[in-house]
Amino acid sequence: MHVDRKKPPAAHRPFSDYYSDWITTMKTTHLPNLRLHMSSASPSLLSAHVEIIHHHFNSYYHTLDLAVSGDVSQILFPSGQRNAVELPFLWLGDLHPYVFTNLLRSYLHDPENEPENDPDPDRDPEYEDNQYDHQEHQEHEEDDEEIEVGESCEFLKKQWPLMNAWKIQSRKLTTRIDQIERGLRLMVPALMNRVRKAQAGFVQKVGSGEVTPAMAAAEMEEEMVGIVMDANRLRKDVISEIVSVTSVYQAALFLEGLAQFLVGIRDGKLLQEFKKCKSLIR
C-alpha cells in the first residue's frame, strides 16, 4: 500500500529564506555569544552556549526535513539558495558529513597541539650560552613585568583550558571518532547506492511502459525524500556524537569552527574572489 508523505502547508516560506535567516542568526547572535563565553572562567556558562548553538543546528535539520518532504528538488538542486563556493561541499542537499569529521581531525592533528621538544644541550654547543643570555635578559625585565603579573595570571586562568583543549586527547575520544568514520565509510556509499537504484528504477519503469512517466517520477521522488532525510539524520547524528564525546571546551571549538565555516563560505568578498578564479576546481 502506497502512503503519501504529509506535505507541509503551502503557506510555509521558501527554504532559501529560512536558510538566509538561520545563517544571519548564527553570524550575529550565536557565534559571537559562543566566542564571548569561550573566554569565560565558568565551564557551566560555556556549556549552556554550546547547547544553544547545537540546538541551532538541530532546528536547522528539522526544518530541512520539512522542506525535503514538501519539495525534495529544491534541496537536491539548490541553485537559488547556495552560492558557487558552497556547492562543492554539498552531498544530497547539504554538507557532506565528512566535513564534520575532517574539521574535528584538523584539531586533533594540529601541529600546535603537539608537545614541544626541548633543545638537546649535547647536540647544541651554544645551548648553555643561549640559556645564560636568556636568563640574564629575563632578570633585567623582571621588574617591568611585575606590574602585569596579576592581569596575565587572570588571563591565563580564563584561557588555559581553551588553549589546552586538544592537548589531552582521551582514548575514548579517538576511539569514538574512529568508529564514526568507519560508520560513514559504510553509510555514505549505501545511501548513494539507493540513489542509483531509484534512478535505475525510474528509467526501467518508463522504458518498459510499466507505468506512466508521471507515476514513475512520483515514485522516484518518494524514494529520494527518504534518502535525503536519512542523509540529514546522518549529518545531525555525527554532529551530536562529536559534541557528546568531546569536553565542553573541545565541543565549543568544534562548533565555533563549523559555524565560522558556514558563515565564511557565504562571505561576499570570498565569493567575488572565487568568481575571479580562472582555473577549474576539480
What is the tens place of the pLDDT at every residue in 22-61?
Answer: 999 999 999 999 999 998 768 899 999 999 999 999 999 9
Query: Residue 1: what pLDDT?
Result: 39
| Domain presence at residue 140 | no
Inside any domain, residue 137: no
145 part of a folded domain: no
User: Which parts of the chain have pLDDT scores under 50?
Assistant: 1-11, 115-121, 123, 125, 127-128, 132, 134, 139-147, 149-150, 155
Predicted local distance difference test score (pLDDT) of residue 159: 66
Single-letter code of the amino acid located at 110: D
Q: In whole angstroms, what is the distance from residue 263 CA to residue 257 CA?
A: 10
What is the rounded CA–CA span in Å between residue 42 and residue 24?
27
Structural domains counted in the chain? 1
In terms of residues, how long is the chain?
282
- The boundaries of the domain holding residue 162 are 15-112+155-276
Strands, DSSP E only, in 40-134? Answer: 90-91, 94-95
The predicted structure's pLDDT at residue 161 = 73
Question: 30: which residues sit within 8 A by CB, 6+ positions away?
Answer: 49, 52, 53, 56, 259
Q: Is 29 a member of any domain?
A: yes
Main-chain dihedrals φ then ψ at residue 82, nearest 5 degrees: -125, 140
Distance of CA 275 to the CA centre of its chain: 24
Residue 139 belongs to a domain? no
Residue 6, domain member (yes or no):
no
Q: Find all residues with CB under 8 Å of 262, minimum gap 6, and list them.
A: 23, 26, 95
Q: Considering the domain boundaries, does residue 162 fall inside one? A: yes
Comparing CA positions, the residue from 65, 35, 18 lying closest to residue 255 is 35
Q: Is residue 258 part of a domain?
A: yes
